[in-house]
Amino acid sequence: MSPAAQPPVPGAGENPAAGSVAASFEFIRSLGQEVRPGAKFDLAQITALLDAMGRPQQRFVSIHIAGTNGKGSVAAGLESVLRRAGFRTGLYTSPHLERVTERIRIGGVEISEPAFAAAVERVRQTTEELLQTGSLPHFPSFFEVLTAVGFVAMAEAGIEIGVIEVGMGGRLDATNVVHPAVAIITPVGRDHEQFLGTTLAAIAAEKAGIIKPGLQVLISAPQEAEAEAVIRARCHEMGVPLVPVEPESATVSRQRDGTYVIAAEYCGVPVRLHAPLRGRHQVVNTLTVLRACEALHRAGFALPPAALQEGIAATVWPGRLERLAEAPEIFVDGAHNPPAARALADFLDEYAQDHPRPILIYGSMRDKAIDEIAALLFPRAAAVIVTAPQGHPRAASPAELEALGPRYGVDCTQAPDLAAALEQARRQAGTQTPIFITGSLFLAGEARSLLAKTTELR
């Protein structure tokens, strides 16, 4: 019997508890960091692994999304529309905020722990067999394993369409084994430069690696000229039609809560869309979803205007300008790179028209563009409290972050952890001054967990 046909066997392998939910989660934790320093990327490992399991990624139509910022918001919005149109959907995203199971959603619902464990066990067993036969030279990475788990789980659930977010880059990302009907590239900016390159053109070339022969269409958000040239050239080389997202084609109006209403045209029909995710940058993300839906509709997937409107209105994407509490308002936003920090800075400028200047709680990984991000965010705050996400060796220390305060003319103090920072911020804020927790998606996840214990997430 081939590895693809073998059912999960509890107790297989060296771990006597293999097959149990707890053992599966422990196995995932044992794989280490998501991206290890000095890691080398290729598609050979993930291809061999998926081939041995019967190529589960080919059992559903896929939509592939790359880019620096906005990938998750676009993925969540597109999946929501497809589900409203009656399709059985899968959604694979990264990273997670609180639980690894957040990365896989079936029909809009986070995968259950038993279903996740079953997929993990199948991937683990197949991996062990391939290692024993020499078909794999070494154990797959954390992200390769999670990607295989996602494809297996979605295929086993019988999804019709899978919305797949690239983890990092695109060309050599483990998700780039799919052959999508539609691909999307959201705005490209500088991030992960140690892996993707130090110029915008180099980074764009990695993102454009998802453009392959046979792709029906590439939807591209507005890009800087350097990135746009690379994406256009790749489309021309691969013979793939390019559909640009044009924000000037829509009329937008800002709501007091920081969301936007967008009037645009969809397949020749006027539509009015309420984007529930906050920030002007969500206008581009929403229009990107619209253009992708338009391409799918024209390719034979029935996506009526009502499904577009309802799906956009129901989009949920945690940790991105998400309000967690009131009196004072507490927002969390994973602005972990300069483009995301610019989007947050724009939101803070708009928000300041109706609200007091906020207190900022900031924590970051050391390998991020901390000084550039601080230059964008710190001057817009009434005060900054710096801290560090717990349990992350890559986290910048509060002491080194505190030293940035005087440079940007803001009162900056440090707190040993997020709970202490939040207590201090609440004392300073009273009931009217908003609090923004930002700088790292790890910190965003920690904030959601911490506040969920004391208040209903809003």
Sole residue written with tokens 């717990």: 390
Beta-sheet strand order (sheet of 161-165): 109-110, 104-106, 89-92, 161-165, 61-66, 182-185, 217-220, 242-244
**Same domain? 96 vs 233:** yes
How far apart are the C-alpha atoms of 367 and 104, rounded to whole Å? Answer: 27
Helices (H), 301-458: 305-313, 338-351, 370-377, 398-402, 418-429, 441-452
CATH of residue 347's domain is 3.90.190.20
Looking at the structure of the chain, the number of domains it has is 2
**Same domain? 354 vs 238:** no
In a domain, 286, yes or no: no
In a domain, 143, yes or no: yes
In a domain, 255, yes or no: no
**pLDDT attached to residue 190:** 78
Of 382, 370, 289, 254, the C-alpha closest to 76 is 289
**Same domain? 233 vs 326:** no
Q: Torsions phi, psi of 83, nearest 5?
A: -65, -40
**Same domain? 41 vs 184:** yes
How far apart are the C-alpha atoms of 289 and 74, rounded to whole Å? Answer: 6
Residue 4 DSSP symbol: G
**Same domain? 56 vs 186:** yes
In a domain, 311, yes or no: no
Domain extent for 439? 322-452
DSSP string, 321-333: SEEEETTTTEEEE
In a domain, 362, yes or no: yes
**pLDDT attached to residue 140:** 93
**Same domain? 333 vs 237:** no
Of 441, 445, 444, 440, the C-alpha closest to 363 is 440
Confidence (pTM): 0.91
Residue 165 DSSP symbol: E
Whether the ω angle into residue 56 lies within 30 degrees of 0, i.e. cis, is no
In a domain, 280, yes or no: no
**Same domain? 117 vs 13:** yes
User: Three-state DSSP class for 48?
Assistant: helix
Half-sphere exposure of residue 87, counting CA atoms within 13 Å on the CB side? 29
How far apart are the C-alpha atoms of 450 and 448, rounded to whole Å? Answer: 6
Residue 258 DSSP symbol: S
Residue 126 DSSP symbol: H
**Same domain? 108 vs 211:** yes
Find out whether 104 and 28 touch, Cβ atoms under 8 Å.
Answer: no
CATH of residue 127's domain is 3.40.1190.10
Consecutive 10-residue averages of pLDDT for the chain (458 residues): 32 43 91 63 93 98 96 98 98 95 98 96 96 92 96 98 96 97 94 77 96 96 97 98 97 94 97 97 98 97 98 96 95 92 95 93 93 96 96 90 93 96 96 96 94 59
**Same domain? 113 vs 235:** yes
In a domain, 276, yes or no: no
**Same domain? 234 vs 328:** no
User: Three-state DSSP class for 315?
Assistant: coil
How would you classify residue 166: left for phi > 0, otherwise alpha for psi between -120 and 50, otherwise beta?
beta
Of 105, 169, 161, 133, the C-alpha closest to 49 is 133
How far apart are the C-alpha atoms of 231 and 218, rounded to whole Å? Answer: 9
Measure CA of the first residue to CA of the last residue in the chain; give whole Å.
50
Which residues, 6 or more positions from 442, have their beta carbon under 8 angstroms from its beta carbon? Answer: 363, 365, 389, 392, 395
52, 134, 100, 27: CA torsion to nearest 10:
120
**Same domain? 130 vs 12:** yes
Amino acid at 248: E
**Same domain? 177 vs 80:** yes
In a domain, 423, yes or no: yes
Sole residue written with tokens 């969920």: 452
Sole residue written with tokens 């939509």: 63
Of 243, 281, 245, 287, the C-alpha closest to 264 is 287
Neighbours of 20 (CB within 10 A): 16
